[in-house]
């Protein structure tokens, strides 16, 4: 009999093991890569199933199971983010949490929430709050100063992202009248408006889009450059105060106190006294949340009284005194009528689903991106299928699967979906670079959307900022044979422009004035405007700082380019390839003759070397030929690293006048060479 039972049990044990693996992987993709592969709902359903299976087979208990710990966002040593943020990432200092950072039990069922409330002791007050959909943060204050800001990490230890947190205006850096130490927890968010603007910018630069504000916030918080973090405009709401000897006997009182101390606490918090009040709160915010400036994905219910909270305690992963009700993502079935293909300015061919129009979260959806060939294949969808379109935390509608089982349609017969082999715009055979998901049309100079896209990018606000040359005008000029590439812009004549319908002499003059003004646009923006693949605005600035003119850049090797901050092998290769193409050289010649800024101010030599590769150099004293900052830049441009203090790892000291006596002594003790300004310049310039 036993054997028979274990045979019956076997598939379920197998399922349990598979679910553990699948959920671990999903956690990694969600928390570390910021590229969720499962919807929240799917994830939660699988987690609930795993919990049920683990209850059935207690002998299979494993403290490492995803049911027993929270997903980890800790930086791995060399994470590569598919969001294209890899170069902005760095390993943050990992610090142990004083109190573990747990998750919340959750449910999509209002009945389960009602049950949870009913099971609480009579007369218990319940605080209802919005569940903000961002990433949790723990803020530590000591003597009124913000001293640490840890991500949740694996729940036991988190990454200290304090420099980035300090860019959030609503998080106070100093507070007064507080206990000497305490912790505030809350959620870091990227407001909808900022999220949309960021994605629009990324789309223009053909960078991968963030799926939702949560991923965008999480990617942003782990960037290396706090200036970029500040520019993106994160915000935060706080919802939990921890520490010893804190004021107040209830959660609600504490949050009101925190508000008085200057913390950003939501106004939507309400103390409820029974199931009806809780359910009314849920019903109200189910619709009202759509008017909020930030994303929410549910409601959190917390026992208000702190003594009662303590009595209820915690499980390994969640408090027993709280539960989250999650709003279901809106999902609709509709017909996938056709797959069409869009060719971008760099030739990437993106499949687009054309749908039977369907109403979803207040908007009509009729198109959705299908990303690439692999995405379509993984969903096994093709025209004629009925597909699920979802709009949950995401603003961009997503196809999440097909109706299962799909009714047998004649269109499902055959070999399934095949991606086009030639460019839908110009007929050139497509290529797919190994390791890349995208198919690309290589006909850069002859494929109409690529030609027009490059011109549109060139004239755009952050590039050459040429007013009056919009998408339609560019299309018109292209059709009429006036524009074939970016250099043609500078050959446009007043009479040619004015002769076009819809464009009189006045607009022609405006366009020409815009073109004339663009000749003053600085070199870094000209470089960005050229539209070299993956060279975005920030990267262009960094390159232009090191290579202050087009000639030096043209002859740079991939290896030298990689020495620039933010430039990885892929970008370096794109730059080298750009200059290998004779057509680009011709265009650049014409742009130079037209009077564009192909040279910028730079404190650095026009070429760099690897003379200082691997060296740690200390700068000390005052200098006569260059400033300290200029020397720092020179060291970096030649592959070295400027470090602050002398140690046995120091390669040499760039020593100016009045060098600090302590440094001098330490250098002598360790036998480290002191190099004068002249010697240093000779060393690096000798390698130009």
The residues carrying an active-site annotation are: 131
Among 43, 108, 195, 240, binds ligand IVH (CB under 6 A): 240
How many residues can be counted in the chain? 688
Residue 401 CB, nearest approach to ligand IVH (Å): 24
**3-state secondary structure (DSSP) of residue 676:** coil
Long-range contacts of 586-593 (CB under 8 A, 24+ apart): 586/487, 587/485, 587/486, 587/487, 588/530, 588/550, 590/487, 590/490, 591/486, 591/487, 591/490, 591/526, 592/550
Residue 185 CB, nearest approach to ligand IVH (Å): 6
What distance in Å separates the CA atoms of residue 434 and residue 89, rounded to the nearest whole number? Answer: 24
Among 43, 108, 239, 285, binds ligand IVH (CB under 6 A): 239
Count of Cβ atoms closer than 10 Å to residue 166 Cβ: 15
Residues 172 to 191: which contact ligand IVH by CB under 6 A? Answer: 187
589 is written with which tokens?
Answer: 């010649």
Q: Does 102 participate in binding ligand IVH (rule CB under 6 A)? A: yes
Residue 477, CA distances (Å) to 501, 506, 518 in order: 11, 17, 19
Q: What letter does residue 337 receive in the DSSP assignment? A: E
What distance in Å separates the CA atoms of residue 464 and residue 474, rounded to the nearest whole number? Answer: 15
Long-range contacts of 306-315 (CB under 8 A, 24+ apart): 306/248, 306/249, 306/250, 306/251, 306/254, 307/249, 308/121, 308/124, 309/251, 314/102, 315/105
Count, residues near ligand IVH per rule CB under 6 A: 14
Residue 431 CB, nearest approach to ligand IVH (Å): 43
Residue 478, CA distances (Å) to 48, 501, 509, 582, 594 in order: 57, 14, 19, 22, 20
Residues 119 to 138: which contact ligand IVH by CB under 6 A? Answer: 129, 131-132, 136
Tokens 């993709």 belong to 29
What distance in Å separates the CA atoms of residue 255 and residue 248, rounded to the nearest whole number? Answer: 9
Q: Does 100 participate in binding ligand IVH (rule CB under 6 A)? A: no
Measured from the CB atom, is 132 or 439 closer to ligand IVH?
Answer: 132
What DSSP letter does each residue of 465-497 carry, written as one string? --TT--HHHHHHHHHTTS-SSGGGGGG--HHHH
- Applying CB under 6 A, the span of 97-105, 172-180, 355-363, 468-476 interacting with ligand IVH comes to 97-105
What distance in Å separates the CA atoms of residue 68 and residue 489, rounded to the nearest whole number? Answer: 62
- Applying CB under 6 A, the span of 101-109, 206-214, 379-387, 493-501 interacting with ligand IVH comes to 101-109
Q: Does 103 participate in binding ligand IVH (rule CB under 6 A)? A: yes
Q: Does 322 participate in binding ligand IVH (rule CB under 6 A)? A: yes
373 is written with which tokens?
Answer: 């060939």
Residue 126 CB, nearest approach to ligand IVH (Å): 13
Element (H, E) at 424: none
Measured from the CB atom, is 157 or 548 closer to ligand IVH?
Answer: 157
Q: Does 324 participate in binding ligand IVH (rule CB under 6 A)? A: yes
Residue 418 CB, nearest approach to ligand IVH (Å): 41
Q: Does 113 participate in binding ligand IVH (rule CB under 6 A)? A: no
Q: Does 289 participate in binding ligand IVH (rule CB under 6 A)? A: no
Measured from the CB atom, is 104 or 360 closer to ligand IVH?
Answer: 104
What distance in Å separates the CA atoms of residue 492 and residue 509, rounded to the nearest whole number? Answer: 11
Q: What letter does residue 614 receive in the DSSP assignment? A: T
Measured from the CB atom, is 324 or 451 closer to ligand IVH?
Answer: 324
Measured from the CB atom, is 324 or 524 closer to ligand IVH?
Answer: 324
What distance in Å separates the CA atoms of residue 375 and residue 382, rounded to the nearest whole number? Answer: 12
Residue 296 CB, nearest approach to ligand IVH (Å): 8
Measured from the CB atom, is 322 or 399 closer to ligand IVH?
Answer: 322
Q: Does 319 participate in binding ligand IVH (rule CB under 6 A)? A: yes
Residues 357 to 376: which contact ligand IVH by CB under 6 A? Answer: none
Q: Does 326 participate in binding ligand IVH (rule CB under 6 A)? A: no
Query: Can you name the residues that pair with 241 across neighbouring β-strands?
Result: 184
Residue 198 CB, nearest approach to ligand IVH (Å): 21
Measured from the CB atom, is 161 or 353 closer to ligand IVH?
Answer: 161
Tokens 């218990």 belong to 124
Query: Can you name the residues that pair with 129 across neighbouring β-strands?
Result: 300
Q: Does 532 participate in binding ligand IVH (rule CB under 6 A)? A: no
Residue 50, CA distances (Å) to 43, 323, 329, 683 in order: 11, 19, 22, 64
Residue 95 near residue 181 (C-beta atoms within 8 A): no
565 is written with which tokens?
Answer: 């901050």
Measured from the CB atom, is 269 or 459 closer to ligand IVH?
Answer: 269
Q: Does 97 participate in binding ligand IVH (rule CB under 6 A)? A: no
Residue 437 CB, nearest approach to ligand IVH (Å): 30
Q: Site mask, ligand IVH, residues 574-613, x = CB under 6 A?
A: ----------------------------------------
Residue 322 CB, nearest approach to ligand IVH (Å): 5
Residue 236 CB, nearest approach to ligand IVH (Å): 11
Closest residue to ligand IVH, judged by C-beta, is: 136
Q: Does 300 participate in binding ligand IVH (rule CB under 6 A)? A: yes
Measured from the CB atom, is 317 or 462 closer to ligand IVH?
Answer: 317
Measured from the CB atom, is 129 or 390 closer to ligand IVH?
Answer: 129
Among 91, 104, 147, 562, binds ligand IVH (CB under 6 A): 104
Residue 326 near residue 106 (C-beta atoms within 8 A): yes
**3-state secondary structure (DSSP) of residue 140:** strand
- 386-391/398-402 β-pairing: antiparallel
Contact set with ligand IVH (CB under 6 A): 102-104, 129, 131-132, 136, 187, 239-240, 300, 319, 322, 324
């Amino acid at each position: 009999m036993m054997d028979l039972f274990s045979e019956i049990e076997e598939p379920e044990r197998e399922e349990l093991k598979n679910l553990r693996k699948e959920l671990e992987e999903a956690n990694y993709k969600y928390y570390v890569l910021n590229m969720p592969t499962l919807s929240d709902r799917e994830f939660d359903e699988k987690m609930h199933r795993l919990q049920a299976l683990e209850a059935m087979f207690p002998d299979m208990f494993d403290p490492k199971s995803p049911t027993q710990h929270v997903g980890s966002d800790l930086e791995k040593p060399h994470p590569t983010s598919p969001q294209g943020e890899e170069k902005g990432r760095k390993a943050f200092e990992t610090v142990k949490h004083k109190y573990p950072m747990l998750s919340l039990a959750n449910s999509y069922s209002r009945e389960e929430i009602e049950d949870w409330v009913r099971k609480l002791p009579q007369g218990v007050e319940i605080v209802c709050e919005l569940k903000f959909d961002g990433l949790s943060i723990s803020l530590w204050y000591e003597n009124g100063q913000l001293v640490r800001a840890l991500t949740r990490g694996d729940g036991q230890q988190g990454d200290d992202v304090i420099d980035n947190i300090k860019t959030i205006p609503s998080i106070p850096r100093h507070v007064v009248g507080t206990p000497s130490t305490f912790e505030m927890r809350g959620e870091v968010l990227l407001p909808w408006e900022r999220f949309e603007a960021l994605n629009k910018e990324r789309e223009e630069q053909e960078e991968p889009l963030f799926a939702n504000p949560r991923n965008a916030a999480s990617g942003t918080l782990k960037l290396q450059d706090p200036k970029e973090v500040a520019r993106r405009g994160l915000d935060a709401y706080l919802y939990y105060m921890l520490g010893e000897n804190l004021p107040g006997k209830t959660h609600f009182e504490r949050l009101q106190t925190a508000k008085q101390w200057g913390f950003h606490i939501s106004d939507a918090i309400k103390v409820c006294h029974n199931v009806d009040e809780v359910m009314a709160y849920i019903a109200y915010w189910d619709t009202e949340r759509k008017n909020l400036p930030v994303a929410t994905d549910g409601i959190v219910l917390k026992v208000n009284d702190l003594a009662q909270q303590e009595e209820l305690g915690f499980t390994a992963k969640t408090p027993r005194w709280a539960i989250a009700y999650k709003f279901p993502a809106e999902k609709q079935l509709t017909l996938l009528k056709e797959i069409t293909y869009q060719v971008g300015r760099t030739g990437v061919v993106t499949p687009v689903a054309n749908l039977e129009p369907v109403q979803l979260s207040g908007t009509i959806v009729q198109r959705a991106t299908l990303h690439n060939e692999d995405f379509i294949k993984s969903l096994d969808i093709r025209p004629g299928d009925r597909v699920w379109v979802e709009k949950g935390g995401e603003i961009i509608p997503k196809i999440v699967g097909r109706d299962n089982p799909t009714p047998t349609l004649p269109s499902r017969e055959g070999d399934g979906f095949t991606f086009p082999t030639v460019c839908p715009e110009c007929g050139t055979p497509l290529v797919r670079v190994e390791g890349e998901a995208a198919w690309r049309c290589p006909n850069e100079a002859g494929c109409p959307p690529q030609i027009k896209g490059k011109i549109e990018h060139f004239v755009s606000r952050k590039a050459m900022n040429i007013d009056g040359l919009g998408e339609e005008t560019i299309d018109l000029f292209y059709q009429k044979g006036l524009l074939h590439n970016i250099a043609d812009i500078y050959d446009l004549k007043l009479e040619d422009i004015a002769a076009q319908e819809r464009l009189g002499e006045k607009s022609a003059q405006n366009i020409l004035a815009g073109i004339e003004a663009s000749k003053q646009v600085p070199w870094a923006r000209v470089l960005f405007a050229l539209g070299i693949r993956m060279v975005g605005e920030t990267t262009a600035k960094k390159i232009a700082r090191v290579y202050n003119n087009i000639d030096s850049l043209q002859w740079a090797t991939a290896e030298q380019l990689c020495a620039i901050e933010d430039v990885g092998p892929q970008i370096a290769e794109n730059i080298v390839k750009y200059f290998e193409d004779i057509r680009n050289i011709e265009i650049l010649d014409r742009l130079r003759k037209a009077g564009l800024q192909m040279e910028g101010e730079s404190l650095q030599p026009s070429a760099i070397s690897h003379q200082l590769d691997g060296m740690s150099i200390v700068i000390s004293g005052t200098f006569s030929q260059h400033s300290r900052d200029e020397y720092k830049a020179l060291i970096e441009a030649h592959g070295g690293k400027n470090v602050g203090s002398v140690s046995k790892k120091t390669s040499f000291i760039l020593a100016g006048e009045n060098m600090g006596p302590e440094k001098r002594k330490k250098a002598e003790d360790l036998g480290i060479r002191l190099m004068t300004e002249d010697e240093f310049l000779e060393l690096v310039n000798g390698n130009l």
